[in-house]
Structure 1
Amino acid sequence: MQGDTAVAERGYGKCGCAFKVAVLSAVFAGWTTAVTSAEDINLYAAGSLKAALTDVAKAFEQKSGGQQSVKTTFGPSGLLRGRIEKGEPAHVFASANMAHPKKLAEAGKISGSVKMFARNQLCALVKPGLAVTSETLLDTMLDEKVRVGTSTPKADPSGDYAFALFAKAEPLKAGAQAKLESKALKLTGGPDSAKPPEGRHLYAWVMSEDRADLFLTYCTNAVLAKKDTPSLVIVDIPNALAVGADYGLAVMASAPAEADALANFILGPDAQAILAEYGFGKGDDVRPAGK
């Protein structure tokens, strides 16, 4: 930078003041652009994506040859949306539903359209010793002695999906929806929800702390929880109660161009292979290999 400035001064002397100012302005403008292009890409993503998108971010950085850096922030999608609405500098938002990024789109805060990049399903995470199968799951949840845990609706889509499951129970057993909604313990995903110790998986910790007998969460979360605490049992949701989770991806309108590159990478085959390793299905807007 000093060398560029010195050349400008030597070449035009004292009589080229106006031109020299223009040259200096161009030099500093170029410096500012360089700094901006080197800034971190801020990826805000659902907590259920933490393990997978941490690996995806590393793969993206490696593929860029170290030219790009991704800063990740994970949490309940609804709370992240609220933080973005209040002005936090997210560049890419990966939500556990389509509704939260679409809400940002309605407010004019995103560039382009919301893309469905992944899918998930709900599973039941069950404490050791509780006898339950897919066939007996509904009766078990309705048992007054069984504590059913969920995440917090509206703040965390996982809670919304759990309550959607409760609604699907109503045609199977009259009164089931109201009973399940009233007994559900909203243990995670809220602004004041308890946090696990460093290094513990959230849902494994909740279950090991005996806060619930059965917890409805994403199947991907359940798999990671069982890795943390092998004694936990994963029970598949029966088809009659099954609820799918569609994950939405959006690039903020104020984001640098590099954010589009990250979003495209997430939609591409390399990132999708990583997501698949963690149990996520492909969304409708995933790019085929070679495109």
Structure 2
Amino acid sequence: MTTLNILAAGSLRAAWPDVVAAFTSLSGIAVNTDFDPAGMLRQRIEAGEPCDFFASANRLHPEALLQQGRAIEVGLFAANSLCLTVKRDIVTQDDDWLALLCRDDLRLATSTPLSDPSGDYTWQLFDNIEQRHPGLGSMLKAKARTLVGGPDCVTVPSGKLAAQWLIEQHHADMFIGYASYAPRLRGCPQLEVLDIPAPYNMQAEYGWACCSEAARPFAAFLSSVTAQTILHQHGFQSTV
């Protein structure tokens, strides 16, 4: 039986088993998935690692593979945005998301730009803040500690959310990450999750690259009602 070798962005880790199980049930095609930050996965593919299908948290990585001739087709399959998670007992009545980011006494953690799209989107968020509040976005870039999503970052234990673990282990007081994690994070009594409003927030566009003919059925399945429903149940938004 054919087994597809898929490389998928780490933020898909919770949703992916359900997506794959539904696909295999319908098609009879087995899937093996390896997760890592999408920027690092792209580097692995460019270095020659075998891959049938690449699911990225940034559409630019699949498009780059297409331009290089390493993919035969690309598309979009989900969207995401950012949120701010903070230690609940540090939030005062007057704090909103931006006030918290500005507090000098709080340590801010993020993912790593270039290696992880979450870091790229966070830096774009800082640029959006800079446009509306000159000097503030640059300050946040200098303040942010890129603790996850890079080759030399701390290792978050399997099954733990980065925001939850970093705050619980006192590596940070707040973390900017994907809003798809918000429902699970809001279930942690010691944490508070704040939405980042649309004028500042980014839309993360999740793209795929079909790197072999064998993966075309899976690419088509990601657009199906079944796959989209599963992704929505895990906090992702539609690209339509």
Q: TM-score under structure 2 normalisation?
A: 0.94
- Structure 1 runs of 4+ aligned residues shifted over 4 Å read 132-135
Alignment of 1:158-197 (within 5 A): 158-197=118-157
Q: Which residue does 1:99 correspond to in 2?
A: 60
Is residue 2:86 matched to residue 1:126?
yes
Taking CA–CA contacts closer than 8 Å with sequence separation of 6 or more, which of the two structures ends up with the larger relative contact order? 2
Q: CA deviation at 1:208?
A: 0.8
Q: Which residue does 1:56 correspond to in 2?
A: 19
Q: Which residue does 1:79 correspond to in 2?
A: 40
Q: RMSD between aligned alpha carbons?
A: 1.7
Q: CA deviation at 1:223?
A: 2.8
Distance 1:195 1:268 in 2: 34
Is residue 2:239 matched to residue 1:283?
yes
Would the alpha carbon gap of residues 54 and 132 (structure 1) be closer, same or farther in structure 2, given more than 3 Å must change?
Answer: farther
Distance 1:128 1:232 in 2: 5
> Residues 129-169 of structure 1: CA distance to partner in whole angstroms, max 9, x if unpaired?
12168972222212221111110001000001111111111
Distance 2:76 2:236 in 1: 12
| Structure 1, unaligned runs of 5 or more | 1-37, 285-291
Distance 1:181 1:269 in 2: 39
Q: Which residue does 1:243 correspond to in 2?
A: 202
Is residue 2:97 matched to residue 1:145?
no
Contact kept? 1:61, 1:69, Cα under 8 Å: yes
Q: CA deviation at 1:231?
A: 2.2
Distance 1:176 1:98 in 2: 28
Is residue 2:191 matched to residue 1:232?
yes
SS state at 1:275 partner: helix
Percent identity of equivalent pairs: 39
Alignment of 1:241-280 (within 5 A): 241-252=200-211, 255-257=212-214, 259-280=215-236
> Residues 75-107 of structure 1: CA distance to partner in whole angstroms, max 9, x if unpaired?
100000001111111111110011111111111
Contact kept? 2:79, 2:204, Cα under 8 Å: yes
SS state at 1:72 partner: strand
| Paired letter, 1:263 | A
Would the alpha carbon gap of residues 133 and 89 (structure 1) be closer, same or farther in structure 2, given more than 3 Å must change?
Answer: farther
Q: Which residue does 1:24 correspond to in 2?
A: none
> Residues 168-187 of structure 1: CA distance to partner in whole angstroms, max 9, x if unpaired?
11133220111000010101
Q: How many residues align?
A: 240
Q: CA deviation at 1:119?
A: 0.5
Larger radius of gyration: 1
SS state at 2:132 partner: coil
Would the alpha carbon gap of residues 39 and 134 (structure 1) be closer, same or farther in structure 2, given more than 3 Å must change?
Answer: farther
Distance 1:135 1:168 in 2: 20
